[in-house]
Structure 1
Amino acid sequence: MSSPLLKPTGAAEDSKFNTGFRNIRNISISAGTSRSITPPLSIAPSELSEILSIKRRRQLQWLRYSAGACALISCLSAGSLLLYSLYTPLFQRRLHYSQMQINAIAIAAELGLYLFVPLFGWICDNYGPDRLSIVSVVLFVPGYVSAAYCYDHRLSHMRMFFSFLLIGAGTVCMYLTGITTCAKNFTKMRGLALAVPISAFGLSPFWMSQVANSVFLKDTEEGDGMKELDVSGIYKFFAVYLFCIGLLGSFFLKIYPDPDLDEIVLRGETAPLLPDSPVAVEHMEYGAAVMSNNPKVMPPTVKRRLLNDDTRNFLGDQTMWWFAAGVFLTAGPGESFINNMGALIKTIQPASSANSSTGDETATHVSIIAITSTFARLLSGFLSDYLGPPVEPAPIHDEEETDGKRFRISRITLIMFFTFLMMASYALLSSGYIQVHPSQFYIISSLIGVGYGAVFTLSPTIVSVVWGVENLATNWGIIAMLPAGGASAFGLLFASVYDTEAGRQNSGENGIGDGLCFGLKCYQNSFAGMAVSCFLAIGLWMWAWRGKGGWVARGVSV
């Protein structure tokens, strides 16, 4: 039964619409933008073939690929926040921040990165990624300018706290513009459409750390002939660079129709999960809800009401909370490790090296995490598309033939495997093996890079598969709020263990000073807790998948 809100006003027009629905090639703009180029219903199907000429189709393809290219550039430029571990040794040595204060600044960045995602996702879904790109400029520029000012004038950590709050918010804005543009312009290969821009985001700290460690160097204040990072210069560079990238995105990051799609699939496989949506669909095809995006049929107000109602149903789904809790328990340790890696590398070195610079080594491991993370994002996206259960609506007999010939593996199995790699790395750190063999720290950075990258690729992919792509930015934004709490909790855990041991080591006359800490006791308990956290996340995802009322019980193929 169709909703009256979705019917044309005239009976004749209604008849014409229903008769020609399957023959008319709908070229409505994909969800996520209020602009539409849908032809009027009065055009006959024979005339539409002339409108969609070869030239027009090529133009649409070029626009979509140009938007995709700009999305990749935005994601390649959005990861400047991931260089935070490069600055922490200098925050400690030059600004005399304690580990707890350093983690407080990191928590500010995480709050900005995750806390406002639902708001930015709503802006992106309703007004388009080009508008959100402008918002990223408004956040990035004052954030980095004020951070440079705080560093130059040795201001308190609370001043730096608010600077990184803005930087974190700008990061998620630019990140969302990239993945939303790709996800809604290239819906046929959903896993890769998300994996490629997410991989670009993961790769961004690689080139940024190399540039920072090669170009932005200056003599140390001690005049000992050594070099250290020019932190203030890095911040000023990012303020100018990200201003340019944000303006570029405001011109090119738009959603365009796919000329090869006869219809726009708005709900797809989400129909079993959202049975109470007040907006009915026009018809059902292979279990997927399909509706026209014609402004006469679904005006912007109805579309926004649909998004709001779907969000309400999404929040009422208990499996979403189990899944989100797992993301909380895996993202928190990963973020904490990346933020504190500079201090951790210093900690596993002998105390005699306290005054030596660790910038080169930290930059190397930032690059290792970036490369392995990028590889894992691409690999997990590929596996999600080609080994995961199919999600696009397809004739039943074709789906059965495909499943009979191709090996399938659930996306939940994939995300649990990569989480296990992270858990193993935390357990290895806690065991003390790396403290005895510090040269093998690359094993830890590689495993965490692989696990972290795959988890952050598969998580939004699973959200798009279970709850649909129409409301992806908003739905994923809601889940992405929780890692802010996880990053805060595990960052404070690391800082508390570190500062407690540092206080003990520096209590005597032979202490190193500056709040530095050396040895296994500086981090053993915190990483043991992170290993347990990953184990719990695996259990929660298993319950959301196969537990009572889980996705398997609902017939949702994940």
Structure 2
Amino acid sequence: MSSPTLKPTADVSKDGDDFRGPRNLSISAGTSRSITSSPLSPQPSEILSIRRRQRLKWQRYSAGACALVSCLSAGSILLYSLYTPLFQRHLHYSQMQINAIAIAAELGMYLLVPIFGWICDNYGPDRLSIVSVFLFVPGYLSAAYCYNNKLSYMAMFFSFLLIGSGTVSMYLTGITTCAKNFTKKRGLALAVPISAFGLSPLWMSQVANYAFLRDSDDESGTKELDISSIYTFFAIYLFVIGIIGSFFLRIYPDPDLDEVILRGETAPLLTPSPAAADHIEYGSAVLSNDPNDIPPAVKRRLLNDDTRNFLSDPTMWWFAAGVFLTAGPGESFINNMGALIKTIQPVSRSLGSPTGDETATHVGIIAVTSTVARLLSGFLSDYLGPPVEPAPVRDEQENKRFRVSRIMLIIIFTAFMQAAYLILASGYIQLHPQQFYIISSLIGIGYGAVFTLSPTIVSVVWGVENLATNWGIIAMLPAGGASVFGFLFAAIYDSEATRQNSGDHGLGEGSCFGLHCYQKSFAGMAASCMIAIVLWTWGWRGRGGWIARGVSV
């Protein structure tokens, strides 16, 4: 179904070098938007002067570079595992209290995403960058104060709630800036900042281990992390990054696109709401190539309509359920990988030596493989996925290129995670624990790709204009999924540990060893991935799905 014909009511002149002649336009809601303009319609080179085109290009790439810096700086929360031994040793927090602090960070990261997404879409990523400053700085300073004064875990709980909220707000500024400034390559525009976020703990951990060490309090001559100094450093560093982002993280028009083509790219592919007809009277303000030309009241009305359409679309719920069923097991595996590695080792080895170094190795494997998968999936999304730009921009050779649906790509990468869960459930790794790198690599590949392709698909199907809000709604689900599948793993593990330790031959301390500690939980995770694949396929090819509506994903 095509959107109503949009007709500018008058000629508009801007900066003395812009001319927008009268047009009669039709922009369809499908994948090939037809654009019919009058013979006198100016070409893009006539709309923008060479000087202004160069200035816009510089501004867009400056915003993109700043977005990458923000994402590279936003992942400080991922260093949490470095702090937990010192929380136990110096603050005497129990394992349950340490997990409660971690949950506080996850709640801040996931549950507030829709709010921050709405701020980012309505007021711009530069404003959200300022919000991140007001979350990170008090969060880290209060965490340093709690550590120095050995306050209760509830005080640290609220500190990490702020830190988690600051993490997702700075992260959203980066991906939104890239997605809205580089709409022609949406896969890479999302994959690069997401990959930068995944790499942030690598450089941060190196800085922490080399620049923030002090002598241990036990007079053993060993070194330990200076937690208070690390938190103070992050408060100052993230304050600077947030302020820089408030100047550079802005959305600029594409100087290589005609104003109407740009509006076609940022509009959702699905049929717009009936209220869209009410927007005709705003004429060139709605069609403007420059987002700043759209009156705030009109923009908020458009975004609110898009959000209502997004929430009322049944295919969104099928897609969101699939994200829940794949992200949840991935989060659960990463959170419980240390216990799992200890479980698959021979009992004598697990009791005789710590597995921390081995766990750190596999954390690194997941970080590297997930980063590679994010970049690869973004590249494949752009170069193999159906094009999202308007039809007149594509040449005949472009139309003949071999294509693979983005849904097929996310299904293929989900199959990597499913294979890892099936291998764990089969008991093969229990017999060959030295090959655990296969599991960490497969899950890293699948996990990284799913978190890149999911927002890309959201931007393709429902448009990039309201991306931060729409993806923010779906991004709440990993918190729930991690809780559900984490509880599944813990319940089965604790039940088997209780059975193993019930007699005199028990190993004590709630330790569990063997296949029965985790087999059922990973069989359930494999089944959840299969259900997710079915739900995505139904939303794509089922009755009332995207193909039936003419949306090529």
Aligned match for 1:462, one of 451, 457, 461: 457
Measured in 2, the distance between the counterparts of 1:510 and 1:554 equals: 63
- Residue 532 of structure 1 is matched in structure 2 by 527
Pair 1:409 & 2:404 matched: yes
Contact 2:322 2:533 in 1 (8 A): yes
Aligned match for 2:361, one of 346, 360, 364: 364
- Aligned residue for 1:344, secondary structure, equals helix
- Residue 485 of structure 2 is matched in structure 1 by 490
**What letter corresponds to residue 377 of structure 1 in structure 2?**
R
Measured in 2, the distance between the counterparts of 1:208 and 1:541 equals: 36
**What letter corresponds to residue 108 of structure 1 in structure 2?**
A
Q: Which runs of 5+ in 2 are unaligned?
A: 25-39
Going from structure 1 to structure 2, the CA distance change for 1:307 and 1:233 (only over 3 Å counts) comes to same
Contact 2:417 2:446 in 1 (8 A): yes
Deviation of residue 464 (structure 1)? Answer: 0.6
Measured in 2, the distance between the counterparts of 1:382 and 1:296 equals: 30
**What letter corresponds to residue 20 of structure 1 in structure 2?**
G
Contact 1:67 1:252 in 2 (8 A): yes
Aligned match for 2:258, one of 250, 257, 262: 262
Pair 1:273 & 2:268 matched: no
Deviation of residue 133 (structure 1)? Answer: 0.9
**What letter corresponds to residue 379 of structure 1 in structure 2?**
L
Contact 2:501 2:510 in 1 (8 A): yes
- Residue 62 of structure 2 is matched in structure 1 by 66
Contact 2:270 2:462 in 1 (8 A): no
**1:108-166 CA-partner distances (Å, limit 9, x unpaired):** 22221111111111111111111111111211223233334445555554444333322
Contact 1:82 1:339 in 2 (8 A): no
Deviation of residue 395 (structure 1)? Answer: 2.7
Deviation of residue 384 (structure 1)? Answer: 0.4
Aligned pairs for 1:171-320 (under 5 A) are: 171-217=167-213, 229-264=225-260, 265-268=262-265, 270-279=268-277, 291-292=287-288, 298-320=294-316
Measured in 1, the distance between the counterparts of 2:292 and 2:161 equals: 42
Contact 1:191 1:381 in 2 (8 A): yes
Measured in 2, the distance between the counterparts of 1:113 and 1:422 equals: 23
Measured in 2, the distance between the counterparts of 1:109 and 1:144 equals: 12
Which stretch has the larger CA shift, 186-195 or 225-234?
225-234
- Residue 545 of structure 1 is matched in structure 2 by 540
Measured in 1, the distance between the counterparts of 2:501 and 2:231 equals: 32
In the superposition, the TM-score normalised over structure 2's length comes to 0.83
**1:413-462 CA-partner distances (Å, limit 9, x unpaired):** 00011111111222223333334433322222221111111101100000
Contact 1:7 1:297 in 2 (8 A): no
Measured in 2, the distance between the counterparts of 1:367 and 1:296 equals: 43
Measured in 2, the distance between the counterparts of 1:510 and 1:146 equals: 46
**What letter corresponds to residue 162 of structure 1 in structure 2?**
F
Contact 1:133 1:177 in 2 (8 A): yes
Contact 2:11 2:20 in 1 (8 A): no
Contact 1:209 1:366 in 2 (8 A): no
- Aligned residue for 1:552, secondary structure, equals coil
Going from structure 1 to structure 2, the CA distance change for 1:424 and 1:68 (only over 3 Å counts) comes to same
**1:30-69 CA-partner distances (Å, limit 9, x unpaired):** xxxxxxxxxxxxxx999x9799443333222222111111
- Residue 33 of structure 2 is matched in structure 1 by none
Going from structure 1 to structure 2, the CA distance change for 1:392 and 1:102 (only over 3 Å counts) comes to same
Identity of aligned residues (%): 74
Deviation of residue 546 (structure 1)? Answer: 0.9
Going from structure 1 to structure 2, the CA distance change for 1:412 and 1:101 (only over 3 Å counts) comes to farther
- Aligned residue for 2:263, secondary structure, equals strand
Going from structure 1 to structure 2, the CA distance change for 1:214 and 1:445 (only over 3 Å counts) comes to farther
- Aligned residue for 1:554, secondary structure, equals coil
**1:478-497 CA-partner distances (Å, limit 9, x unpaired):** 11122221122222333333
Aligned match for 2:72, one of 67, 76, 81: 76
Measured in 1, the distance between the counterparts of 2:6 and 2:403 equals: 40
Contact 2:344 2:430 in 1 (8 A): yes
Measured in 2, the distance between the counterparts of 1:413 and 1:444 equals: 22
**What letter corresponds to residue 270 of structure 1 in structure 2?**
P
Deviation of residue 538 (structure 1)? Answer: 1.0
CA RMSD of aligned residues (A): 3.7
- Residue 445 of structure 2 is matched in structure 1 by 450
- Residue 388 of structure 2 is matched in structure 1 by 391
Which stretch has the larger CA shift, 268-277 or 130-139?
268-277
- Aligned residue for 2:276, secondary structure, equals coil
Contact 2:3 2:272 in 1 (8 A): no
Q: Which runs of 5+ in 1 are unaligned?
A: 24-43, 284-289
Deviation of residue 236 (structure 1)? Answer: 3.7
- Aligned residue for 1:195, secondary structure, equals helix
**What letter corresponds to residue 311 of structure 2 in structure 1?**
L
Measured in 2, the distance between the counterparts of 1:508 and 1:194 equals: 54
**What letter corresponds to residue 363 of structure 2 in structure 1?**
V
Contact 2:133 2:242 in 1 (8 A): yes
In the superposition, the TM-score normalised over structure 1's length comes to 0.83
Structure with the bigger RCO (C-alpha within 8 Å, sep 6+) is: 1
- Residue 338 of structure 1 is matched in structure 2 by 334
- Aligned residue for 1:553, secondary structure, equals coil
**What letter corresponds to residue 381 of structure 1 in structure 2?**
G
Measured in 1, the distance between the counterparts of 2:215 and 2:351 equals: 18
Contact 1:213 1:359 in 2 (8 A): no
Going from structure 1 to structure 2, the CA distance change for 1:153 and 1:85 (only over 3 Å counts) comes to same
Going from structure 1 to structure 2, the CA distance change for 1:51 and 1:403 (only over 3 Å counts) comes to closer
Measured in 2, the distance between the counterparts of 1:226 and 1:327 equals: 44
- Residue 123 of structure 1 is matched in structure 2 by 119
**What letter corresponds to residue 240 of structure 1 in structure 2?**
I
- Residue 377 of structure 1 is matched in structure 2 by 374
**What letter corresponds to residue 553 of structure 1 in structure 2?**
A
Contact 2:270 2:461 in 1 (8 A): no
Measured in 1, the distance between the counterparts of 2:340 and 2:359 equals: 10
Contact 1:190 1:461 in 2 (8 A): yes
Aligned pairs for 1:428-443 (under 5 A) are: 428-443=423-438
Going from structure 1 to structure 2, the CA distance change for 1:231 and 1:345 (only over 3 Å counts) comes to farther
**What letter corresponds to residue 381 of structure 2 in structure 1?**
S
**1:63-120 CA-partner distances (Å, limit 9, x unpaired):** 2111111110111111222333444566567766666554443332222111111111
